[in-house]
C-alpha cells in the first residue's frame, strides 16, 4: 500500500508536509501510530514529568530502593517481548535501566498500547524496583506515559552508527547510540571545568573580550572576514585572545584568562577545525618559566581530576604527564634530532643555503630565524612524544615575546609538544612598547614580502603598552587538542560536537 496515494486527512498532510523525502516503511508506520493517537485525543508529545531518580540511581542504590516505587524517564533503546510481558531498556542522562512490563499489572488495554511504542520513543514510568532471576536490577512498570514519539528509527542497536558523515552532521544520533561518544563529550566538559577551577583558585579572573576585531592580531594566521552594515566596515573574527587580554593586564587585572572560540581561515584536518577553543591566560610578574610550571601543574591536575591518573594512553602510546616535564631549547632539539648545529652566528643567506642543502622548502621573506624554525618542524616535532617544553624560539617568528637577554636572536618563548603535536605556546610577554613597535614594523615588511600571516600593526595596543604593562607571563593552550589527548581521540572532530562540514548538495 502506498501511503501517498491514499486520501489524506488534514493531520496526515500536516505530518507529511515537513519533508519531501520518500517515506520509508519505518517512518510511515510511526506516523500512522502518531495519527491514531491524535485521533484518539492523546498527546504524543507529553509535558513535565516528575522523576524521582535517574536510571543508574536505581541500579546503584538497589538495596535501599528494592520494593519501592520509583519514577523514571528516558528513551526506549531495546525491547525484548514475551507475549503478555516485555523487557524494555530505557536510557537517560545517567545510563540504561531495564523495565519489565506485564499485561496483568498494566491491564490488557494499557499493555497493548505499551506494545505499540517504538524504539526511540521517550517515556516516563512509575514502577517497583526488583531483581530478575538472572540478577538484573529491573523496574516493574505500573504506569507508563509517552513523552515524545520518535518518527524516525534509531540505527542498529548492536553496531551503532558508524558513518562518520552522519555522526558529525547529526551528532544527536551519535550521542544516542554510541556511549563512548557521550563519554568523550562529558569528559570535555569536565576538563574545561577543571581548568577553570584550577585558575579560579589561583586568583585568576575570567573575562570576555571581543570576537569581532577591526584588526586580527595576536597570532600568525589568516582571519575570517565579515562586515558591519550600520558602520559599513570590515571586521575580522579573532584569531587569538592575546592583545585584548594584555590590555587588561595593563589595566590592572594581573591574573586574567579567557577560554573561548577563535577562528582561523585555514585548511581542515584531523588536528584543525576552522573554529576552535583556546584558553589564553596572563599573569603579571611571572615569565616563561612561571608559565612552564603552571602548564605542567595545571594539565596534570586536570588529568588527575578527570581521569584519576597522570599516566595516559594516546593511540597506543603511554604518556606520563607527571611533572616536571622535559625542557629543551629549540637549538638543542635540532642538534639532538637532526644532528645539525645552528647555534653559531650565521647570516640569513648562510642559513638559507643550509636549508636548501637539507631540502627544506623556503620562502623569499625568510631569514635565519625562519630557517631554525623550519629545521625544528621538519626534524623534531613528531619525535617529541612525552610532554616537552621547547623554548628559545627565534625572534623573527615571535613578534610578541621578550628577547632572550643573552642572545637577542631568540625569545623567551616555549611551545609544549606531546605526542608530536603542539599543545601550548607561551612567552615572557614583550612589554617594551618601543621594541614592540619595531617588531610590528618587521612584521609589516614580511607582509609586504608576501607572508599573508605576518602580524599587522596595532597602534592601539602599542599605546596600551606605553602606559606600562608589568612583566608578564602569558600562555595559550589549544583546548581541543588537550581534550583529544586526554580522551584518546584520533581526530579533532571527535571532540567538537558539531565540527565544520561542507553543506550537503
How many angstroms from the chain centroid is the CA of residue 147?
31
Radius of gyration of the chain (CA): 29
C-beta closer to RNA: residue 281 or 397: 397
CB of 294 to RNA, least distance (A): 19
C-beta closer to RNA: residue 140 or 197: 140
CB of 52 to RNA, least distance (A): 21
C-beta closer to RNA: residue 85 or 307: 85
- Tell me how far apart the alpha carbons of residues 99 and 104 are, in angstroms, rounded to a whole number: 15
CB of 274 to RNA, least distance (A): 10
C-beta closer to RNA: residue 102 or 182: 102
Cα separations in angstroms, 78 against 88, 121, 172, 181: 6, 11, 18, 19
- Tell me how far apart the alpha carbons of residues 171 and 459 are, in angstroms, rounded to a whole number: 44
Exposure string (b/e) for 253-290, b if CB count within 10 Å is 16 or more?
bbbbbbbbebbbeeeeeeeebeebbbbbbbbbebbbbb
C-beta closer to RNA: residue 10 or 25: 25
- With cell 515537513, the residue in question is 18
- Tell me how far apart the alpha carbons of residues 340 and 379 are, in angstroms, rounded to a whole number: 10
CB of 411 to RNA, least distance (A): 9
C-beta closer to RNA: residue 134 or 227: 134
Helices (H), ranges, 309-429: 330-338, 348-357, 368-379
319 membership: H or E segment, kind and range: strand 317-320
CB of 372 to RNA, least distance (A): 10
- With cell 605542567, the residue in question is 296
C-beta closer to RNA: residue 293 or 381: 381
CB of 382 to RNA, least distance (A): 9
User: Phi and psi at residue 394, in whole multiples of 5°?
Assistant: -60, 150
Sign of the dihedral through C-alpha 468, 473, 478, 479: negative
Residue partners of 414: CB distance under 8 A and separation at least 6 = 288, 291, 292, 327, 389, 390, 391, 392, 393, 424, 425, 426, 427
- Tell me how far apart the alpha carbons of residues 294 and 477 are, in angstroms, rounded to a whole number: 12
CB of 158 to RNA, least distance (A): 3
C-beta closer to RNA: residue 126 or 421: 421
- Tell me how far apart the alpha carbons of residues 472 and 444 are, in angstroms, rounded to a whole number: 25
CB of 41 to RNA, least distance (A): 22
CB of 194 to RNA, least distance (A): 26
Question: Measuring CA to CA, which residue among 214, 199, 212, 293 is closest to residue 254?
Answer: 199
C-beta closer to RNA: residue 200 or 432: 432
C-beta closer to RNA: residue 46 or 160: 160
CB of 304 to RNA, least distance (A): 29
Question: Measuring CA to CA, which residue among 388, 395, 443 is closest to residue 418?
Answer: 388
Amino acid at each position: 500500500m502506498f501511503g501517498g496515494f491514499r486520501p489524506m486527512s488534514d493531520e496526515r498532510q500536516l505530518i507529511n508536509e515537513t519533508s519531501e523525502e520518500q517515506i520509508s516503511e519505518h517512518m510511515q508506520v510511526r506516523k500512522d501510530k502518531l495519527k491514531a493517537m491524535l485521533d484518539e485525543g492523546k498527546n504524543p508529545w507529553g509535558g513535565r514529568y516528575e522523576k524521582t531518580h535517574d536510571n543508574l540511581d536505581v541500579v546503584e542504590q538497589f538495596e535501599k530502593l528494592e520494593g519501592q516505587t520509583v519514577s523514571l524517564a528516558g528513551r526506549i533503546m531495546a525491547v525484548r517481548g514475551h507475549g503478555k510481558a516485555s523487557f524494555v531498556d530505557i536510557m537517560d542522562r545517567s545510563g540504561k535501566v531495564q523495565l519489565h512490563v506485564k499485561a496483568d499489572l498494566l491491564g490488557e488495554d494499557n499493555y497493548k498500547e505499551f506494545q505499540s511504542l517504538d524504539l526511540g520513543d521517550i517515556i516516563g514510568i512509575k514502577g517497583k524496583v526488583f531483581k530478575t532471576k538472572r540478577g538484573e536490577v529491573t523496574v516493574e512498570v505500573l504506569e507508563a506515559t509517552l513523552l515524545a514519539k520518535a518518527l524516525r528509527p534509531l540505527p542498529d542497536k548492536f553496531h551503532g552508527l558508524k558513518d562518520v558523515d552522519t555522526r558529525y552532521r547529526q551528532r544527536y544520533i551519535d550521542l544516542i547510540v554510541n556511549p563512548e561518544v557521550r563519554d568523550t563529550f562529558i569528559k570535555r566538559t569536565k576538563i574545561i571545568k577543571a581548568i577553570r577551577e584550577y585558575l579560579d583558585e589561583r586568583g585568576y579572573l575570567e573575562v570576555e573580550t571581543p570576537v569581532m576585531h577591526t584588526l586580527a592580531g595576536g597570532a600568525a594566521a589568516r582571519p575570517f572576514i565579515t562586515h558591519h552594515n550600520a558602520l559599513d566596515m570590515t571586521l575580522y573574527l579573532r584569531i587569538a585572545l592575546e592583545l585584548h587580554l594584555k590590555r587588561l593586564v595593563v589595566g590592572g587585572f594581573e591574573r586574567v584568562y579567557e577560554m573561548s572560540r577563535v577562528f582561523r581561515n585555514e585548511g581542515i584536518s584531523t588536528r584543525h577545525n576552522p573554529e576552535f577553543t583556546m584558553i589564553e591566560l596572563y599573569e603579571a610578574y611571572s615569565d616563561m618559566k612561571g608559565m612552564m610550571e603552571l602548564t605542567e601543574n595545571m594539565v596534570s591536575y586536570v588529568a588527575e581530576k578527570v581521569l584519576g591518573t597522570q599516566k595516559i594512553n594516546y593511540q597506543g602510546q603511554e604518556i606520563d604527564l607527571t611533572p616536571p616535564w622535559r625542557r629543551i631549547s629549540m637549538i638543542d632539539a635540532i642538534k639532538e634530532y637532526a644532528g645539525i648545529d645552528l647555534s653559531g652566528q650565521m647570516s640569513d643567506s648562510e642559513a638559507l643555503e643550509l636549508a636548501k642543502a637539507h631540502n627544506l622548502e623556503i620562502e623569499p621573506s625568510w631569514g635565519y630565524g625562519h630557517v631554525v624554525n623550519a629545521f625544528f618542524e621538519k626534524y623534531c616535532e613528531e619525535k617529541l612524544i612525552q610532554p616537552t617544553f621547547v623554548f628559545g624560539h627565534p625572534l623573527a617568528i615571535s613578534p610578541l615575546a621578550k628577547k632572550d637577554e643573552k642572545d637577542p636572536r631568540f625569545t623567551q618563548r616555549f611551545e609544549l609538544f606531546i605526542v608530536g603535536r603542539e599543545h601550548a605556546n607561551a612567552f615572557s610577554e614583550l612589554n617594551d612598547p618601543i621594541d614592540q613597535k619595531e617588531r610590528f614594523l618587521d612584521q609589516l615588511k614580511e607582509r609586504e614580502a608576501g607572508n599573508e600571516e605576518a602580524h599587522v600593526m596595532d597602534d592601539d595596543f602599542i599605546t596600551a603598552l606605553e602606559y606600562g604593562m608589568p612583566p608578564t607571563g602569558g600562555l595559550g593552550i589549544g583546548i581541543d587538542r588537550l581534550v583529544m589527548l586526554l580522551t584518546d581521540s584520533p581526530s579533532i572532530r571527535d571532540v567538537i560536537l558539531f565540527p565544520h562540514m561542507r553543506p550537503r548538495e
